[in-house]
Structure 1
Amino acid sequence: MIDEAIAIVVDVGPSMNQAPAGETTSLQTAIEAMTMIVQRKVFAESKDEIAVILFGTADTDNPLADGDSYENITILRPLGVADFDLLNIIQNDIQASNISADSSLHSGSSENVSIATYSSLENSQGSGPSLDDDDDNDSEKPGPSTMSNGHRKERTAQQRAGEAMLRHILQEVDGECYSFNEALPALSNFQSRQIKQTAWKCQLEITSGIRIPICSYVKLKDFKLKQSWKNVYAKDPSEEVGNLRTYHMKDEEETEIDREDMIEGHCYGNTLVPMSEDDKANMKYKAEKCFKILGFTKPENVKRHHYLGDGSSCVVADKGDEAAAVALSSLIQALYETNMVAIVRKVYSAASGPKLGCLIPHIKAEYECFLYVEIPFMEDIRQFTFGSLPISKENVSAGNTKFVPSEKQLEAVDNLITSMDLCQSQDNDDDEEETTEFLKAKLTFNPHFQRLYQCLQHRGLNPDEPLAELSPLVANYLKPPQEVLTKCEEHLDSMKKLFKLEVVKQKEEKTGENQFKESDEGEATKAKKPRLDDDLEGGMADITRAKVTEVGTVTPVEDFVAFINQKDEDKFEEASEQMQKRIEQIVVDSFGSQFYPKAMDCLKALRLHSIKKAEPGLFNTFMKKFKDTLIAKGRRDFWEQVVTENQGLISKMESEDSNVTKEEAKAFVSEEEEKDEEPEKQETGDDADDLLDMM
């Protein structure tokens, strides 16, 4: 059974092919509108069937023609699901004719058929009617159909009678009439496929004795293409295209094995632990389907950035259960009046894990429901602390007072943010504020999918041509709304005046006195601009490199190597002290383990060159203090990396100048492990203060 049958009826007579030079004919506009209708059905993967009927053709091809009636009417395409073949037919097989004919329609199907007629409703002597004119006596008022490509024509008495008849037909069939200028913008967007809603039924459990039968429907969900569009035909369309996947061992011969002989495994250190399907089934957390309220809280306790999942749901009472409807309505009203939300535990089915969610009361004039949004467990939240920007002279150091924004600058930023708000209030005629929302989800199409559909359509109809340029309609989605741009224009000008940008020129380094270049005239030599080379270990790279006096935070390893390789004097002790401070700074300031790799590279470089320069004592002294610092600062995870990477004390086995034995170096990295293994032998007393001290 088809969802809907659509008959597209097109006038191809002479009136549809008339237009002044340089303008588009009505037939060309009709073909463009038809293409848009079909492509919307194709990419929405609709099961609707479409037929294309032409009237005014030179030939006659329809089953009702008997020589006297239904002449010059051709069924170009019978009812069928929209596809690329239909798009090709519309693009290539519709030709204008010089024969005028009347459109006569007859449905031989028991299904309801929607009819879309494309015609200028003109003949060779007159113009099309204006069906938007409610006043029949206002014959001189032009409407969308009284103009042929922008040129007004006077209507005859016969045409005005035809207008009345068409209005009567539209009224009887509850139809609509649009001009081509109105239809094209409405059809220009690709529609997403429509998904039939399926209810998830469960019982909302408040207590063990209070259960309300409910149904949950998807309200908003992340849209994904049903088809990946990755499978294409081979050069020979008759050749079958398939996938071949093989599995091989990691040996020299890459021995092929069967999928049935494989088992999943996980690494636990250096050990590979096999995990069979039975093992996974036994270890999997088992839960029963439920929808249970855990408690209630204020809405502000559920932060917007805590929302999880790929959408939200509407929770309503089970259909047909009046008692459930009354009970759920009472709960919705109570939470709404007390400004509360409910925290619930949801288990979709016995095969899925538990989820934590929030029920938000949602009341409209037509309906009321709960909105369900998934929220995280405590373990899912990552706490990152970022330093605040200096906004006043009280909380900024003396050296950075010039970066404190002025009151005018802060006000300008606030005004800009307010003007760019996509939800703004406007006063209506009743002196009541109404909220205007730009870019409403149900009215805004995803530009990614729109571009994808555009490319697929172009490649399907023009397989040998390059992809078309980005459609202006799609490009408009990437631009802010014009109303927002207009409102924020003055605030942007104010920002430009208050926040002046200046180009800061870098000072040229005057180094490399040993670099000379002979001039062609034999004049005195001139200094040559130093050249930085990747090789920092010596040679010309050290000579030409700009003199380094500090180990920075951007490239600390390179700065350290360049610092200690300077030939004029021994700078290792000074460079080592700076490198030690830099390592400690990077670890302590790291957000989690974000900068640990950089700090480890610095530590390895310091240890390596301490051995090369015969200065192991400096490194060992630093490491003993650094270990205590890491544990005190709560950076035990970095110390564990130090132990794993074998970056502990430098022993006599590595450097003859070291006074640390191999056993002492080993004990240094194992001391913490021994402390962890010691049981907590502190006796618990009865005194509450002692217990608090222990905690």
Structure 2
Amino acid sequence: MADKQTTIYVIDLGKSMGEGPKNGRTETDLEYVLKYVWDKITSTIANGRKTDTIGIVGFRTDGTNNEMVEEDDSYENVSVMSPVKQFLLPDLREMQEKLVPSRVDVGDGISALCIGIQLIMLHCKRLKFIRNICLVTNGRGSFDMDEVEQIKEQIKAEGINLTILGVDFDDEDFGFKEEDKPPKKAKVEESLKKLCEDVGGVFGTIQEAIEELGNPRLKKTRPVASFKGDLTLGDPAQYPNAVTINVERYPRTMVAKPISASSYIMKAEAGEGEEADVSLEAVRQARAYQVDDHDAAGGKMDVDRDQMEKGYTYGKEVVPISSTDETVTLFETEPGLQIVGFIPVENYKRYFSMSSTNAIVGAKGNPKAAMALSSLIHALFELDSYALARLVKKKDTQPLMVVLAPFIDAEFECLIDVEVPFAEDVRAYKFPPLDRVKTVSGKVLDKHRYIPTPDMDKYMSDYVDSMDLSNFGEDEEGNPSEYITVEDTYSPIVHRINQVVRWRAIHPNEPIPPPYEVLLKYSKVPEGLLEKIEDPLGKLIAACDIKVVDPKVTGKRGRREQPAPKSGLDIEALLNEDEPSSTSDAPKKPKKISATNAIPEFKQRFTQTDDLDELISAGQEMLEIIKGLITHSLADTNYARACEMLKVIRDAFTEFDEPEVYNDIIKELKRAIYAEELDGDRVDMWREVRVNKLGLVTAKEGNGRGVEDDEAKAFLWT
């Protein structure tokens, strides 16, 4: 749970805040400062926490709305625009209408600051709150500093974090100085700066604050323990000298996820003679379960969820298991963290880590446990070892294997745990060596076209070194530093969605702005790196003899180029020279595919013609051959051969961008099988089709042409 927090925004709404653009800006002073205020308020709304409250005070307003004006007329033209409360979207819309420039330039900024302090005191009382006041102004109004010392003491006593931001305020660190500044404004700036310095606040120019809005603000959350129990070494039930330490486990790193969307619909409600009030209403989901019942209305009968049981497929059958019987499948475990062994650090591979990390510390209020855990941490650190442990977080949950690593800092120490795989989860794959080639006869070659030469190795190493970013950046003093640091690397999707949601809340009808530059910084090649790698890359290309290859003609209208024989002979003419020549000029009819040499002849047909009708005819001939194989098959002896033919047909028509032809073929084959036209019951053949995944070609496989995934799945299994 996050800390409770209250923020009061004290905003200058004087007439001068509404004057036209200046200093290169396209908006008025008030529109400019509100960019900062709206961003902060929308960030608070996005938190959704009731304990994160906001209040707004305006000064130099047309009217007066505060409790202090009855006692002191210096509080005139100071208005509480919003009391302290949790802000929601309707409140934001209301404030957008209220925060506009006034018609007067009277009203004291220090009095408005006092009203902000009063709001915090009344709301927070003596409770534990983070208390903030943010004052924004252009410094051209009245700021009475007569009783400022008492105000400073009050700010310190209440523990208020004061921030004062001004339009065109001078800031040496930011590098801005307003030319021809009015003397009155310069004096106000000096007084406000001293006020901030004396109370330990923040003083600066609003330009810097607005520019930093693009930098993502990290969300701080209070960690919640995922495990509280005993860390044991040995079995305390059997051995009295077993080690038992009471510990708690908290998340150390977690995956940040973008805010999720919900479905809403527009609703319009209007009474007689009233205009429709159009707003949003959440979509509520409802599920209904039905089974086939010819006696029920519509042929379906509703079934209550409580009447259903789980069923597991076993072959083609479904085996039902009741919730009572399913309890026998549960693995009974007791919560605990048991050390089962120790491993040297050098034996642990980084790719073993399977999860985010957690920190294990001694139980709160148990100094004995903290001392015992500290001894274990230092022992692991001194022996350069990790501990392997079995973790069960809750009763009857599956056990996890974790590695415990010691972490020691100046003021903090703990065990860092990360989940590791079981032996059954590890898959070992063998790959051929990169530095030698072994022939079929067993001879080992150290020179081969697949083995890089020493020059290739050298230039590749130089090329990789030239792309090194560890010293490509610059620090504040201009010295080489790391270009991409972990703390400056943000998740674009998380912060971009937050940016868009905040913008849409303030500007419901304006176009979405481009992403902040900080989110795109590492998506582009850094300036100067391309010139740096140009020379090493050129040498590498020359050493590897890389050349541009003309793209091959592919697609359904591009005949695939066949390799030419070294002899230069026309193989097609030699194969066909024994056939009788035709005296007619009519195109020769293709030779029918034979059952004894079906696959080669089918592939040859695809190399000889681009006529789709002829290729469809070839597919139908193959279908008849497959049907014959199934019909005359003794049990399943010909099924594998039939599946091989189906695969060839499927690949050929998919590559030819005509998957519909194959889909028609496989539909006809399924119909013939289930109609028992192929010498009786041949359902086992369809199981072979299912195992070899020879069903309908989907749109994903056929480059947009084909059926949807659900249809293909239903076709195979129904």
Same-fold call, TM > 0.5? Answer: yes
In structure 2, C-alpha distance between the alignment counterparts of 1:224 and 1:429, rounded to whole Å: 32
Separation in structure 2 between the aligned mates of residue 192 and residue 12 of structure 1, nearest angstrom: 31
Which sits farther off after the overlay, 144-153 or 256-265?
144-153
Amino acid at match of 1:7: I
Residue in structure 1 matching 2:80, options 67, 75, 82: 75
The 8 Å contact of residues 467 and 533 in structure 2, kept in 1 or not, is answered as no
Matched, 1:282 2:328: yes
Closer/same/farther in 2, CA of residues 176 and 460 from structure 1, 3 Å limit: closer
Q: CA separation in 1, counterparts of 2:473 and 2:561?
A: 62
Tell me the equivalent position of 1:35: 38
8 Å CA contact 2:248, 2:362 repeated in 1: yes
CA contact (8 A) 1:289 1:349 kept: yes
* CA RMSD of superposed structures (Å): 5.0
C-alpha distance in 2, partners of 1:480/1:315?
A: 39
Tell me if structure 2 keeps the 8 A contact 1:43–1:191.
no
- What is the CA–CA distance in structure 1 between the aligned matches of 2:293 and 2:427, rounded to whole Å? 41
Determine which of 283, 286, 292 is the counterpart of 1:244: 286
Query: 1:58 aligned to 2:62?
Result: yes
Is 1:102–2:108 an aligned residue pair? Answer: yes
Contact kept, 8 Å, 2:108 with 2:142, in 1: the verdict is: no
What is the Cα deviation at residue 295 of structure 1?
0.5
Checking the alignment, whether the CA contact within 8 Å between 1:297 and 1:342 is kept in structure 2 is yes
Note if contact 2:265-2:281 (Cα within 8 Å) is conserved in structure 1: no
The separation in 1 between residues aligned to 2:552 and 2:480, in whole angstroms, is 57
In the TM superposition, what is the alpha-carbon distance from 1:30 to its structure 2 partner? 0.8
2:520 to 455, 473, 476: 476
2:250 counterpart letter in structure 1: Y
Please list every run of 5 or more consecutive structure 2 residues that lacks an aligned counterpart in the other structure: 144-168, 236-241, 269-277, 566-587, 604-618, 642-668, 670-675, 689-718
Q: Name the SS of the counterpart of 1:280 in structure 2.
A: helix
Pair 378,393 (structure 1): closer, same or farther in 2 beyond 3 Å: closer
Looking at structure 2, the residues matched to 545 and 251 of structure 1 have their Cα atoms a distance apart, in angstroms, of 55
Closer/same/farther in 2, CA of residues 13 and 144 from structure 1, 3 Å limit: farther
Which position in structure 1 is the counterpart of 2:421? 376
Count of aligned pairs: 542
CA contact (8 A) 2:13 2:101 kept: yes
Q: 1:325 to 1:356 in 2, by over 3 A?
A: same
**Range moving further from structure 2, 104-113 or 455-464:** 455-464
Partner SS state of residue 320, structure 1: coil
Hey, what does 1:153 align to over in structure 2?
180
For 2:398, the aligned partner's letter is G
**Equivalents in 2 of 1:160, 1:201: separation in Å?**
59
CA offset digits 1:144-164 (Å, max 9, x no partner): 2899986413574x7666555
The whole-number CA distance in structure 1 between the counterparts of 2:216 and 2:332 is 43
Which of the residues 471, 475, 497 maps onto 1:452?
Answer: 497
Aligned residue for 1:144, secondary structure, equals: coil
Identity of aligned residues (%): 23
Residue by residue over 1:172-227, the C-alpha shift from the partner in whole angstroms, topping out at 9 and shown as x without a partner, is: 43211122222123333554654321233221111232111212111011234575
- CA gap 1:494/1:88 in 2 versus in 1, 3 angstroms: farther
TM-score by length of structure 1 reads 0.65
Offset at 1:495? 2.0
Q: Which residue of 2 aligns with 1:363?
A: 408
2:135 is the alignment partner of 1:117:
yes
What's the offset of the Cα at 1:238?
Answer: 8.2
Is residue 460–residue 540 contact of structure 2 (8 Å, CA) maintained in 1? no
| Cα distance in 1 for residues equivalent to 2:346 and 2:212 | 40
1:410 aligns with 2:457: yes
1:529-554: per-residue Cα shift (whole Å, max 9, x none)?
9957xxxxxxxxxxx9988999xxxx
Give 2:232's aligned residue.
205
**Closer, same or farther in 2 for the Cα pair 1:498/1:566, shift >3 Å?**
farther
Distance 1:267 1:429, change over 3 A: closer
Change (3 A) 1:144 1:11: same
Q: CA deviation at 1:497?
A: 5.0
Q: Distance in 2 between matches of 1:546 and 1:426?
A: 50
Question: How far off its partner does 1:612 sit?
Answer: 6.5
Q: Deviations over 1:472-505 (max 9, x none)?
A: 33651561584xx645651255325533764423
**What is the identity, as a one-letter code, of the residue corresponding to 1:206?**
L
How far apart are the structure 2 equivalents of 1:154 and 1:272? 84
**Match status 1:338 vs 2:383:** yes
**CA distance 1:45–1:655, change in 2 (3 Å):** closer
Q: Distance in 2 between matches of 1:146 and 1:304?
A: 43
> Gapped runs of 5+ residues in structure 1?
126-141, 510-528, 533-543, 551-564, 581-601, 625-645, 647-652, 657-661, 670-695
* CA displacement at 1:256 relative to structure 2: 1.6
Match of 2:209 among 183, 197, 205: 183
Cα distance per residue 1:391-431 (max 9 Å; x no partner) = 5678999999445444444344434545556666999999x
The structure 1 residue matched to 2:192, chosen from 157, 166, 171, is 166
- What secondary structure does 1:75 align onto? strand
| Offset at residue 285 of structure 1 (A) | 0.5
